[in-house]
């Protein structure tokens, strides 16, 4: 998967996906399939998107005992996805098993999916971290801790907000991927996400990939919104 913006397919039916993608004609896109779409349409939606030439980030945030995650990752590798994620909170052993499962399930002529660890959700606030997760860390420190565990477990990168991307790049190396959701053309439209930023700001702060949903999928003109996201992300002034 290259570093073009990843468009979050925030839909529940294949019909909605098809109608949306028709707007982009033959453009090859990086697409995110999340729980809503995957759990209702199953692997068939992945096969359909791959057949159409798109790259797919399967965002289902695996978090279970190590053996279960390993077996799940082995099966997921066979779907042909380009990126898959898991919760770093599952621990280092779980993440190591996830890596083993992906390696085992990837065929000899397949490209290995990028393995990404979720640190703290962009909907998490400092108050939630303190009061609900009972953590004495700040979000920034918690994210950096999880990122270090993920790197040690041979993950390719992490999901993080723009606010942690720069520090992760500095401490873990620029080749360690920083996949950033919560991207908005208008940051005031944060919805349920708390730590949001524009594509331009994400680029400035060191994100390697950005995930954009509503700013494109719910725009009056999704194609023009995508092109504006791309322009900001690539720095084409």
Can you tell me the distance from the alpha carbon of 38 to that of 52, in angstroms, rounded to the nearest whole number? 17
Any domain includes 183: yes
From the list 4, 13, 61, 51, the residue with the least C-alpha distance to 31 is 4
* Burial of 229 (C-beta count, 10 Å sphere; 0-12/13-18/19+): buried
Structure token pair of residue 52: 């159409």
pLDDT score recorded for residue 126: 95
Q: What is the pLDDT of residues 29-40, one digit of tens each?
A: 999 999 999 999
Any domain includes 202: yes
Q: Is the dihedral of CA 181, 184, 189, 195 positive or negative?
A: positive
What's the average model confidence in pLDDT over 175-196? 77
Alpha-carbon radius of gyration of the chain: 17
Catalytic residue check, 15: no
Report whether 165 contacts 180 (CB < 8 A): yes
| Packed helices 139-152 and 92-105: angle between N→C axes, nearest 10 degrees | 50
Report whether 118 contacts 149 (CB < 8 A): no
Any domain includes 231: no
Q: What is the pLDDT of residues 73-107, one digit of tens each?
A: 999 999 999 999 999 999 999 999 999 999 999 99
Print burial letters for 118-156: b (CB count within 10 Å at least 16), e (below 16). bbbbbebeeeebeeeeebebebbebbbebbbbbbebebb
Tell me: pLDDT of 232 over 80.
yes
Structure token pair of residue 84: 């898959």
Structure token pair of residue 171: 């401490």
Q: What is the pLDDT of residues 56-65, one digit of tens each?
A: 999 999 999 9
Can you tell me the distance from the alpha carbon of 131 to that of 184, in angstroms, rounded to the nearest whole number? 28
Length, in residues, of the chain: 237
Structural domain total, the chain: 1
Residue 187's pLDDT band (boundaries 50, 70, 90)? Answer: low
Q: What is the pLDDT of residues 202-220, one digit of tens each?
A: 999 999 999 999 999 999 9
Can you tell me the distance from the alpha carbon of 161 to that of 201, in angstroms, rounded to the nearest whole number? 11
Any domain includes 19: yes
Any domain includes 236: no
Residue 211 lies in domain = 6-218
Q: Of 61, 112, 188, 194, which one is the catalytic site residue?
A: 61
Residue 237's pLDDT band (boundaries 50, 70, 90)? Answer: very low
Any domain includes 62: yes
Report whether 103 contacts 72 (CB < 8 A): no
Measured from the Cβ of residue 191, the count of other Cβ atoms closer than 10 Å reads 12
Q: What is the pLDDT of residues 97-155, one digit of tens each?
A: 999 999 999 999 899 999 999 999 988 999 999 999 999 999 999 999 999 999 999 99
pTM recorded for the entire structure:
0.93
Tell me: pLDDT of 189 over 90.
no
Any domain includes 224: no
Any domain includes 187: yes
Q: What is the pLDDT of residues 152-166, one digit of tens each?
A: 999 999 999 999 999
For residue 81, what is the domain's CATH number? 3.20.20.70
Tell me: pLDDT of 195 over 90.
no
């Amino acid at each position: 998967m290259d570093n073009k913006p990843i468009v979050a397919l925030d839909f529940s039916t294949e019909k909605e996906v098809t109608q949306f993608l028709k707007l982009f004609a033959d453009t090859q896109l990086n697409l995110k399939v999340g729980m809503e779409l995957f759990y209702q349409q199953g692997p068939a939606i992945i096969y359909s998107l791959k057949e159409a030439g798109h790259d797919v980030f399967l965002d289902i945030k695996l978090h279970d005992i190590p053996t279960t995650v390993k077996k799940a990752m082995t099966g997921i590798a066979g779907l042909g996805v380009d990126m898959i994620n898991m919760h770093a909170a599952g621990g280092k052993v779980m993440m190591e098993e996830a890596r083993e499962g992906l390696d085992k399930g990837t065929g000899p002529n397949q490209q290995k999916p990028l393995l990404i660890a979720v640190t703290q959700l962009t909907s998490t606030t400092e108050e939630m971290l303190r009061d609900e997760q009972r953590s004495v860390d700040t979000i920034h420190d918690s994210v950096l801790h999880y990122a270090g565990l993920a790197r040690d477990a041979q993950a390719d990168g992490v999901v993080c907000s723009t606010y942690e991307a720069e520090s992760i790049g500095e401490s873990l190396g620029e080749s360690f991927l920083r996949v950033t959701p919560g991207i908005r053309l208008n940051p005031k439209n944060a919805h349920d996400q708390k730590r949001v930023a524009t594509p331009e700001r994400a680029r400035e702060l060191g994100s390697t990939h950005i995930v954009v949903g509503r700013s494109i999928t719910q725009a009056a003109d999704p194609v023009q919104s995508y092109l504006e996201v791309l322009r900001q992300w690539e720095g084409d002034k």
